[in-house]
Amino acid sequence: MANWPLWLDGATGSGKTTWLIQQLAEAARSHPRTEGQSPLVFAANGDNRLRLAARLGDLAPNLAVVTTTPNGFIQDEVTLFWPLLVAELGLLPQFPLRLRPENEQDLAMGQWRRSLLDGTLTVEGWLEAQTVRRSLDFLQMAAVASIPAEDLPWLLPEGIPPGFAPESVWRSIGTALVDWRDWCLGRGLLTYGVMTELYWRHLLPHPLYQEKLLTRYSGVFVDDLDEYPAITAHWLQVFVDHGRPVALTWNHHGKVRMGLGADPDRLEHLKGQCQVIDQLTPAVDSLAHGWGDQVVQWVMDPLSLPEPLDCFETLQTVSRGELLRKTAERVFEAVDTGQVAPHEVAIIGPGLDAIARYTLAEILTNRGLPVASLSDQRPVIHSPLVRALLTLLTFIYPGLGRLATAEDVAEMLVVLSQIPQAPEAGPWFEATQIDPVRAELLVDHCFEPSLEQPELLPVERFDRWDRLGYKATEAYNRLRQWIDQQRQQRQQRLTPRVINALDRAIQTFFWGGSHLPPDQLAALRELMETAQHYWAVEDRLNQLAPLLGTVSTEPLKTSLARFIVLLRQGTVTANPYPVESERVITIATVYQYRLQRLRHRWHFWIDAGSPRWLAGTDNLLFGYPLFLGSYPGRPWSTGDLETLHRDRPERILRDLLGRVSDRVVLCHSELAVSGQEQVGPLLTLVTANADTSFTAYTEIPPKAHKAH
C-alpha cells in the first residue's frame, strides 16, 4: 500500500504522467471509496487536461475520475457553493455571472474613469488601458497568492520601486481594487481574481464546504505541480490532513509559469510532507539523455569550445526575412524527402511575431503542408467580415454615426457583396459584386454621414450610376433594402437585441458561415460569443440598478457604441489557425511549446542567435515579485530579478532538449529585424555546427504535399 502523500521529482519525458496514472489505479484498488466519490485529477491548463483525460481513458478505462485545472476547479466550486457564500457574506441572492477579460477591463475603466482623468491612478508612460489591465492583474496575483485585497494599498507602494510612480498612486490603485471587488460582488459579477479570493478566504475554510469536498472526492492527483498558483496548497493540505491519497508530480526543469501566476517555490514546501521519489533521468529517446549535460555546459560556459553534433544542424542567412523563407523550405524538403512527417516537426522561437507566423504558415500551406500556429490569438477586428458587420450596425441603430467613416462604409460594401461558393471550389467567394473602385464611387455619391443615422442613398444620386454595372447596382440595392427591413423590425420591436441583428446579417451575407475558411469562421464565432456575453452583463446591470439605488446603465446606443469601440481596440481575440487535426506542423513560442508539454522528432529553433532565446521573461506580469513566497518585503531590484531567474536558461535548454528526439535545426540570421547583429547565448552552438549546416539550394516550386 502506498505511503501517501507521494511526490515524484522527474525530468522532462521521464514518465511522470504515467506514474501518476499508476498511483491513481493503486489508490482505486487499495483505498476504499464511498458511493459517489471520485478521484480529483489536476492538469496545469485546459489543453493538458484534455490530453491527460485521453491517457486516462487509454491506460485506466475503468476508472471514473474528475479531471480539471486550478482555474476550472475554483470557478466550478464557487459557482456550485454560491448559496453558501451568499449566506456567509450577505450578498444579493442571484446566480453569479462570470466576466470575460474584455468585459472586466471595460467595466473597470468605466468605474475608474474619473480617477484616470484627474491623475489619481496615472502611472507615467502607461496608457489608460495598460493601467487598468495591470491593476486588475494585481488583484488576480494577490488572490492566487492568498493575499487579501485589503493588503494591496500598502503592499504595492512598499514593493514597487519608486521610479515608476509616487507611492500615493499605488495606494490609490490598491484602494480602487478593493472598491472594484466589492462592486463586482454586489452585482454577482465574478472575475477570476474575485472568485479566487472568495474560494481561499471564505469557501475553503468553511467546515460544511470541507465536509462536502471530502465527501465528493476520494483523493487528489496533480500533474506538473510546478505550474500551479500558490493557492493550490490550500486544498491539497485538506486532503493530506485527512489522510486521503495524494500524488504529485514535479518537473525538475519546468516552472514555465513563474511570474505569470504560478509560485513553484512556495508549492515546493509541500515536498517535506511527502514520500519523495526521484526520477531525474531524461527520456532515453530524447536529445537531453545523451547530450543534455554537454550542451548546457557549452551554452552556459562562455569559455567552452563546443563540438559539432550529428543531431544538430545550422541554417544561416544574413537577413531575417530570408531566414524565414529558408526555414520553411528546409521543413518542406525534410517532409518531401520522407525524413520526417509533418506532425513530427515543430518550429519554435523566443518571440514569434505576427509577420514570422504568417510568413512561415503561408509558405508551408502553399506547399500543401498543414500548419497549426499555437495560441496565435489575433484581434477579431483584423477580420474584414467583423469590421463590415460592426459598420453595418451603425446603419441599423441610431446614434452611432460617428463610428461610420467613409473608409469603413466602402469596405462594408465590398465585403457584404461577396458571393459564397462551395469550399472545394477554392476561395470562399466567387466574385465581389462591388469592387473597391465602385465602392469608393458609391461612398462619394451615395453615402450621407450623420451623427444620428447615416444613410445609403438611392444609387440614382450618382449621375453616372449606369457605370456601376448591373451586378453592383443590384447588390447595393439589396443591402439598402435589408437595412430598411432591420430598421422597421427594430421599430416594431421584432429584433430588439443586437445579437439577433448580427445573426441575421451572418445568415444573409455569409450564408451562416458554412462556406468560410477556418480563420474567418473563428473570428465570427468569437464575435457572437463576445456579443452574447457583453449583453448578458448589460442586462444584469440594468436589472440590479433599481435594487441597488444606482443610476440605470446607459441606453442601447451608448452600450452598443462601447461594444464597437471595445472590439476596435483589439481587446477580443480569436485563433486564426484553429487546429483541426493533430497531424500538423506546429509553430509556437518557447513559452507556449513548453507550457503545452509537446514533443517532436525535429525542432527548428528560429532566431537561434537572439539574446532573448533563453531569457523567457518577455511576458511576465508587472509586479509579480510582490506576490511570490520569496518576496523580501522591500522594493525589488535588478539583483532580485536575476536571483529569481538565474536557473531559467538551463531549465529552458534541458526542457526543450527533453522534448525532441532526432534533430535540432538552429536557424540563425546575422541581422535581427531591427538590423542589429544577433549575439545570443546559443551562438556558440550555431557556430560549432556551421560545418554541418544546411546550404542554400534552388527554391522548390510550390506543389501539393505527398503523403509518407
Is the pLDDT score of 532 beyond 90?
A: yes
Rounded to whole angstroms, how far apart are CA atoms 441 and 432?
15
d(CA 685, CA 688): 5
31 or 361, greater pLDDT: 361
**Percent of the chain residues topping a pLDDT of 90:** 66
Q: Where are the alpha helices (DSSP H) in 92-127?
A: 101-111, 113-117
- In which residue ranges of the chain is CATH 3.40.50.300 found? 6-79+203-279, 287-376+579-692
C-alpha–C-alpha distance, residues 550 and 545, integer Å:
5
Closest CA to 604 of 318, 336, 253, 335: 335
What average pLDDT does range 60-88 have in this prediction? 93
What local confidence, expressed as pLDDT, does residue 302 receive?
A: 78
* Nearest by Cα to 393 from 512, 516, 531, 520: 531
Residues 24-44 have pLDDT tens digits of 999 988 877 777 789 999 999
Mean pLDDT along residues 252-279: 94
Cell of 681: 547565448
DSSP assignments along 242-285, one per residue: TT--EEEEEETT--TTBTTTB-HHHHGGGGGGSEEEEE-PPPTT
**What percent of the chain stands above pLDDT 70?**
92
Mean pLDDT of 284-288: 94
Quote the pLDDT of residue 19. 95
Partners of residue 418 on adjacent β-strands: 432
Q: What is the per-residue pLDDT for 698?
A: 36
Whether the per-residue pLDDT at 195 is higher than 50: the answer is yes
Return the C-alpha cell found at 13: 519525458
The pLDDT score that the predictor gives to residue 706 is: 38
Which position has the higher pLDDT, 173 or 695? 173
- Whether the per-residue pLDDT at 600 is higher than 70: the answer is yes
Pick from 650, 529, 635, 661: nearest CA to 157: 635
Look at the block and give the residue holding cell 494577490: 142
> What is the rounded average pLDDT of the residues 202-227?
96
Q: Which three cell numbers stand for residue 175?
A: 484602494
pLDDT > 50? residue 425: no
pLDDT at 420: 58
**What CATH number does the domain located at 6-79+203-279 have?**
3.40.50.300
Map grid coordinates 469603413 to a residue: 408
- Mean pLDDT, residues 685-702 taken together: 59
End-to-end CA distance of the chain: give it in Å, rounded. Answer: 48
Q: pLDDT tens, 96-151?
A: 999 999 899 999 999 999 999 999 999 999 999 999 999 999 999 999 999 999 99
Burial class (CB in 10 A: 0-12, 13-18, 19+), 163: exposed
pLDDT computed for residue 405 by the predictor = 95
Closest CA to 374 of 572, 588, 627: 588
pLDDT digits (tens, 9 = 90+) for 326-355: 999 999 999 999 999 999 999 999 988 888
Taking phi over 0 as left and psi of -120 to 50 as alpha, with beta for the rest, 345 belongs to: beta
The residue with greater pLDDT, 706 or 105, is 105
| Mean pLDDT, range 456-484, rounded to an integer | 90
Nearest to 420 by CA among 516, 302, 319: 516
Higher-confidence residue of 572 and 5: namely 5
Nearest to 391 by CA among 408, 376, 406: 408
pLDDT of residue 552: 52
pLDDT greater than 50 at residue 701? no
Whole-number mean pLDDT of the chain?
Answer: 88
Q: Which of 95-104, 159-168, 581-590 is the least confident region?
A: 581-590
Pick the CATH number of 287-376+579-692 from 2.70.98.50, 3.40.50.720, 3.40.50.1100, 3.40.50.300: 3.40.50.300
